Homo-oligomer: A and B are copies of this chain.
Amino acid sequence: MNSIEIVGLVAGGLTTASFVPQVYKTYKSKSTDSLSLTMLIVFFIGIILWLIYGIYVNSIAMMLTNSITAVLSFILIYFKLRLK
């Protein structure tokens, strides 16, 4: 794995890590008032497109990061719909 993929993996690790507390807070508080369903869906579609982009340009960092972020944002959408 070349050095730039490592930069990508660290970048992805950080941006994904900064997303986890939001999911944890929502899980713990069982409150999704501060989350906008529209924005969650917009974000989710964007992440799926980044995942397709990453597959196309053969970027392990993008594939890994966007798969995890897609799962996390899907969980938030699930909470938002279920906790209405």
Interface residue total, chain A, C-beta cutoff 8 A: 32
Q: Is the interface of A mostly helix, strand, loop or mixed?
A: helix
Number of copies: 2
Q: Is A15 at the interface (CB under 8 A from chain B)?
A: yes
Closest to A51 in B: B11
Are A7 and B53 closer than 8 Å at their CB atoms? Answer: yes
Kindly identify which residue among B10, B13, B39, B50 contacts A11, using a CB–CB cutoff of 8 Å.
B50
Residue of B nearest to A50 (CB): B11
Quote the shortest CB–CB distance from A5 to chain B (angstroms): 9
Give the contacting residue for A7; candidates B43, B47, B56; CB below 8 A. B56
Determine if A14 is an interface residue (Cβ-Cβ < 8 Å).
yes
